[in-house]
Amino acid sequence: MRRTSPALEDVFVPLLLVVLAVVLAVSTDSFLSSGNILNVLSSMAILAIVSFGQTFVIAGGGFDLSVGAQVAMHGAVGAIVMRDTHSIALGLLAAALSGVVFGLANGLLVIGLKVHPFMITLGTSVIGTGLTLIVTHAESVGGLPASIAGFGVGRPLGVPWIVWLMIGCFAVSAFLLSVSPFGLRVLSSGGNREAARLAGLRVERTIVATFVLAGVFSAVAGMATTARLQSAQPTVGEGLELFSVAAVVLGGSALHGGRAAMWRTLLGVLVISVIQNGLNLKGVGDAWQQVAIGIVFVLAMSAELLRRVSRLRTGRRQAPPPRSGVADATAKAAVG
């Protein structure tokens, strides 16, 4: 398969991380310390797990603004079940089922109503937030089994358990998207839905599956947050939907679908987390941190626009020979 030389978008984020690391290493005394590095990895874990689920949706040409609300909702559902049954296993199962049902509802609404996922998931986000406040009575849910405390402070091999959880979620999501046939179907559906249909792919079923995966990963993040805090907080997921989209796009995946990779998403999350950590080390106030992160969001969206313009110009210069829509969809999916 023909492919151009390595593009700037493939090296920009790694180079940005190197520059940030050098600047922070020089300007602070503790950035490269083992304690701070583990702190960065721990603090990015929840966003990374949510972003892995968001990557599936975006790769399929969708968008999920409900993942933040889902983190709070599924974490609350699991906490309530654990509190009432004193069973961690049942709590985890309840949270997972909650994620599947919510994700399935998102997917079926998007496919059934044929409305842009932005609007559907904006609405379900509000619904999810309201349901969370109802089931928790707008209060934190405590009284969890004492054995769950170990998950909040455990450090297998000296590494916080939540970092191991992030690594496990990355491995599973990377396999599904980049190795399994399901990943090819997702990328093909996001790249050219009509061509994917002509190739015999069940596009609607694939799109629904991406929203279900987003729900499951949100449930994992919700329960991880509950374990760390030893309680479920009804507003814990605020802002994660925007941060997850920014991480996916900043990493280099296409916002319009058809091109994505989990390693790209992980790098995007790492950039955001390093910036936040650096601002904290420099003693920058919360208000200015919000400004800085907002600038990162704008840059992420601008980078996506520049990538699309660059591909259009490259396509015109190279003028590839015509090929069928099915072949085009398959090739585009394989490039991600």
pLDDT at residue 327, as a whole number: 42
> Angle, nearest 10°, between helix axes 240-251 and 34-59?
90
Looking at residue 232, the DSSP 8-state letter turns out to be B
Domains of the chain: 8-335 (1.10.3470)
As given in the structure block, the two tokens for residue 266 are 């992980």
pLDDT at residue 332, as a whole number: 45
What is the tens place of the pLDDT at every residue in 19-73? 999 999 999 888 999 999 999 999 999 999 999 999 999 999 999 999 999 999 9
Q: What is the DSSP string of 95-145?
A: HHHHHHHHHHHHHHHHHHH---HHHHHHHHHHHHHHHHHHHHTTS-B----
pLDDT at residue 80, as a whole number: 96
User: What average pLDDT does the segment 125-133 reach?
Assistant: 96
Question: For the CA atoms of 185, 330, 56, 245, what is the dihedral angle to 10 degrees?
Answer: -160
Backbone angles phi, psi at 131, to 5 degrees: -65, -40
Instruction: Specify which residues 232 forms β-bridges with.
Output: 141
Work out whether the CA dihedral 182, 102, 170, 14 comes out positive or negative.
positive
The model scores a pTM over 0.85? yes
* Banded pLDDT at 179 (limits 50, 70, 90): very high
* Banded pLDDT at 257 (limits 50, 70, 90): confident
pLDDT averaged over the chain? 87
Percent of the chain with pLDDT over 90: 61
What is the tens place of the pLDDT at every residue in 206-246? 999 999 999 999 999 999 999 998 999 998 998 899 999 98
